[in-house]
Structures are given as structure tokens and as C-alpha cells.
Amino acid sequence: MTRQQAFLAEYRLARRQRAAGDVRGELQHLERAHILGQPRFLDHLRSHLWLLAWAWRQRDWAECAAQLLRLPGSLGSLLGLYPLGNPGTRRVGALTPQPLPEDLARLLR
């Protein structure tokens, strides 16, 4: 599986979790999609739009604000500047790298 295929698969899994009413499961897959999307600008941008939509549906206004601030940060992907492993949500600082999940690390090497 390529990074791009895994990125889209995580999004599809997030949608399944949403349909099942599993808000936390949906967010987990959106965060994984964000990690996979960071190397490509459009995927990085899309992942923040998905996270913004998730926050809006949850009425999580702090997360909405965080996503609005992070959207321009997606431009860092154009220069290869992004914190590897960062889940893209406010629970981790926007510039804070995080350990990569092992299964995702293989796709990002």
C-alpha cells in the first residue's frame, strides 16, 4: 500500500466510524490521515479541512479555532517543513513532532 492509498483508506475508515456514531474512532482515523497527509500540501490541507468539519459537527469551538489557525500551516508541506507524526489537533502543539505509529512509519520512509 502506498502512502496515498493509506491516506485515503484512513479517511474512509473515519467516515465509517462517523456513520457508526463513533466520534472518537472517527477522530483517531482523521489524525492518522493527517500524519500521512503532511508530506503533500493538498493532502495536508484536506486533512485539516476534515478535522475542521469534525470539530464543527462536535461543536468543539476550541478545535475549530485551532484548525482555522492550522490551515495556513499546511503551506509548510510545500517546503518540507512540518512536525512529523503530529496528529494535527489541538491536543498536541502545532509545531511539536510526535513518535510515528509503527505502521505509518513504514509508509513515510
- Look at residue 109 in the predicted model and tell me its pLDDT: 80
Task: Please state at what angle helix 41-58 crosses helix 23-37, rounded to 10 degrees.
Answer: 160
- Look at residue 95 in the predicted model and tell me its pLDDT: 92
Question: Where do the structural domains in the chain lie, given as residue ranges?
Answer: 3-108
- Look at residue 70 in the predicted model and tell me its pLDDT: 96
Q: What is the distance between the alpha carbons of residues 43 and 66, in angstroms, rounded to a whole number?
A: 18
- Look at residue 66 in the predicted model and tell me its pLDDT: 97
- Look at residue 26 in the predicted model and tell me its pLDDT: 98
∠ Cα 85 101 14 (to 5°):
85
Q: What is the distance between the alpha carbons of residues 73 and 109, in angstroms, rounded to a whole number?
A: 22
Q: What is the distance between the alpha carbons of residues 63 and 51, in angstroms, rounded to a whole number?
A: 8
Q: Where do we find the cell 475508515? A: 13
Is residue 57 exposed (0-12), middle (13-18) or buried (19+ Cβ within 10 Å)?
A: exposed
Write down the pTM of the prediction: 0.95
Q: Name residues of the chain where pLDDT drops below 70.
A: none
